[in-house]
A = this chain, B = another copy of it.
Amino acid sequence: MEKPKESSVERLRSGILDLIRDLDLSFGDKLPTEKELSERFQVSRPTLREALKLLEQEAVIDVHQGKGRFLAAGALLSIARPITKFESVSQMVASHGYSAQTRLLGFATVPADPDIAARLSVPPGSPLIRVERLRHSNGQPLVYSLDWLPKALFDADPATTPDWSGSIVALLAGIERGPVASTANVRATLLPQEVSTLHGLDGFGPALLIEEICYASDGTRVIYAMDYHRGSAFSFSFVRK
């Protein structure tokens, strides 16, 4: 099993965020000095500075040599649903406040077309598993998902059939191939016409399409996903700098 063993820098980072909350600091306020922080958290200044550098990059704090560190714009939404946080669709839906169910619309083993083969870095024509699903809550469709996975991932245990109605992320984690990061692309579009008509999703409206390639911890590409998020139900926040 993978045991990342949270580094002290990562612990520091959240410790500092907690401290900001505890001290009730807001925009423009001054943070304690490096000396005070390193004493409070019992770490050396170089280590502390690595953590502060991360918060700088996230635009949570501004730094001015000789003056100190000050809360910046990012502090205002350092938590709220950042689009850059990797999580499964199920988690994401939950964090938006929906208790959703998954409906398996279909799955099949298909040959990789050149486009998708390139994205997953597998030979064209090699077998992929294509899974089509819909998350919905109280009859309202929320996310329409298409996933492609290399069939080879499951060749070790060909007897059992995976349960595609559950979390694919969890499924892959079970065979030591859990995705940990992705490169993604976002744009606005409509559901493809045939999807709307075939599955009765006419009222879905404009969708936020996130296309992503998910990577396992060893760097192999394990999923290519197209997730259509219903525009009226989802939004994501981030800091630009």
Q: Which residues on A are within 8 Å of B, measured CB to CB? A: 9, 27-28, 46, 49-50, 53-54, 57-59, 62, 70, 72-74, 76-77, 83-87, 180-190, 205-209, 212-213, 215, 219, 229, 231-232, 234-241
Neighbouring B residues of A180 by C-beta, 8 Å: 241
Q: Is the Cβ of A77 less than 8 Å from the Cβ of B237? A: no
Contact A184 B238 (CB under 8 A): yes
Contact between B186 and A235, CB atoms less than 8 A apart: yes
Cα distance A72–B59 in the bound complex, in angstroms:
23
Cβ contacts A to B, 30 pairs, < 8 Å: A50-B53, A57-B58, A72-B181, A73-B182, A73-B215, A74-B181, A76-B183, A83-B83, A83-B186, A83-B238, A84-B239, A86-B240, A180-B241, A181-B239, A181-B240, A182-B240, A183-B237, A183-B240, A184-B238, A187-B208, A187-B231, A188-B188, A188-B207, A188-B229, A188-B231, A190-B205, A190-B206, A206-B207, A206-B231, A208-B208
Q: Are A186 and B240 in contact (CB under 8 A)?
A: no
A186 adjacent to B238 (CB under 8 Å): yes
One of B183, B186, B206, B219 near A77 (C-beta < 8 A): B183
Nearest residue (CB) in B for A56 is B54
Q: State the Cβ distance, A218 to closest chain B Cβ, in Å.
A: 8
A50 to B34 CA separation, bound complex (whole angstroms) = 15
A234 — which chain B residues lie within 8 A by C-beta? 187
- In the complex the two chains form, is B181's CB within 8 Å of A236's CB? no
